[in-house]
Amino acid sequence: MDSSLTEQPAPNQPLPDLVSNEFAGLYQTHSREIYYLTLRFLGDAHKAEDATHDVFVKAYRKWNTFRGESSYRTWLYRIAINHCCNLRQNWANRHLVTNADDAVWESAAASGDSPLRVLEIKELGERIQKTLDQLSDEYRLLLLLVADEELTYEEIGVLTEQSPDAVRGKLHRARKVFTAIFQRSL
């Protein structure tokens, strides 16, 4: 197994002692996945910082309406997805499946489920971002959500308003398109 996959990431920055311990704990536990989602979904570090801040402000305001019907994780993801989609509403890329996806899909069949070989780990983040940028919003979001091991297909279906079977089918295509673009980006 790749040793780097077991590396412990740097601990998240605690919130200053201004808010309740409970909410500070929520930030401490979930800020990484929310920041990562916004970073890779929006493709811009400054926008991701703003979005993560705004998501937690919204969560704080809605704190008393959280009824425990879902986990905190999926609740925060819901707020983050709505926030990011609102930000992108004025952007051109609103179609579920873009022409770019279709074009790549034609050549993606050969890529299959082959492993993704990476020679230069230093620029990996940049390469991942460039690949994600070429996917539709929906494919990008599905891949980012399924990468979170804590989320089930059912939860991803709820978050993206579709059935688990639809999630599975689209993810199959999204993985192939991602792999094809990623391998060409060497």
Partner 1 sequence: MKHQKKFESQEQQQASETQSQQKTSAREFASVEELLRHDAKQTNVPPEIAQRLGRSLQNEPRPARSWWRRWFR
Give me the amino acid identity at 125: G
Contact with partner 1 (CB under 8 A): which of 47, 60, 79, 87?
60
Structure tokens at 111: 């890529």
Contact with partner 1 (CB under 8 A): which of 29, 116, 165, 169?
116
Report 142-171 residues binding partner 1 (CB under 8 A): 143-144, 146-147, 149
Burial class (CB in 10 A: 0-12, 13-18, 19+), 178: buried
- Binding segment for partner 1 among 19-27, 72-80, 91-99, 155-163 (CB under 8 A)? 19-27
185 binds partner 1 (CB under 8 A): no
Give me the amino acid identity at 165: D
Q: How big is the CA angle at 47 (ends 126 and 90), to the nearest 5 degrees?
A: 105
Site size for partner 1 (CB under 8 A): 60
110 binds partner 1 (CB under 8 A): no
Give me the half-sphere count of Cα atoms (radius 13 Å) on the Cβ side of residue 139: 27
Tracing tokens 């309740």 back to the chain, one arrives at 20
Contact with partner 1 (CB under 8 A): which of 12, 82, 86, 152?
12
Query: Does residue 80 contact residue 38 with C-beta atoms inside 8 Å?
Result: yes
20 binds partner 1 (CB under 8 A): yes
Burial class (CB in 10 A: 0-12, 13-18, 19+), 57: exposed
56 binds partner 1 (CB under 8 A): yes
Quick one: 167 or 174, whose CB is closer to partner 1? 174
Closest to 84 (Cα-Cα) out of 125, 50, 132:
50
92 binds partner 1 (CB under 8 A): no
Closest separation in Å from C-beta 125 to partner 1? 6
DSSP 14: P
Structure tokens at 67: 């009824």
Residues making contact with partner 1 (CB under 8 A): 2, 4-5, 7, 9-10, 12-16, 18-20, 23, 27, 31-33, 35-36, 39-40, 45, 49, 52-53, 56-57, 60-68, 113, 115-122, 124-125, 128, 143-144, 146-147, 149, 174-175, 178-179, 182
